[in-house]
Amino acid sequence: MRILGIDIGGSGIKGAPVDVERGCLAGERFRLATPQPATPAAMGDVVRQVVRHFEWDGPVGCTFPALIRNGVACTAANIDSAWIGTNVESFLGRRTGCPVTVLNDADAAGLAEVRFGAARDVRGVVLVLTIGTGIGSALFLDGRLIPNTELGHLELAGTKAEWRASDRARKEGNLGWKKWARRLNDYLRHVELLLSPDLIVLGGGVCSKQDRFLPRLETRARIVPAQLGNQAGIVGAAVAAQDRSPQRVRSLVRSAA
Same domain, 54 and 147: no
Same domain, 8 and 101: yes
The 10 Å CB-count burial string (b at 16+, else e) for 26-48 is: beeeeeeebbeebebeebbebbb
DSSP string, 22-65: TTEESS--EEEEPPSS--HHHHHHHHHHHHHHTT--S-EEEEES
Same domain, 192 and 247: no
Using the predicted structure, report yes or no on whether residue 257 has a pLDDT greater than 80: no
Using the predicted structure, report yes or no on whether residue 251 has a pLDDT greater than 50: no
Average pLDDT, the chain: 93
Same domain, 151 and 175: yes
The CATH number that applies at residue 217 is 3.30.420.40
**Would you say residue 206 lies in a domain?**
yes
- Using one digit for the tens of pLDDT, what is the confidence trace for 119-165? 999 999 999 999 998 999 999 999 999 999 999 999 999 999 999 99
Find the domain containing 171 and state its range: 118-226
Q: How many domains does the chain have?
A: 2
Same domain, 192 and 154: yes
Same domain, 222 and 237: no
Same domain, 15 and 97: yes
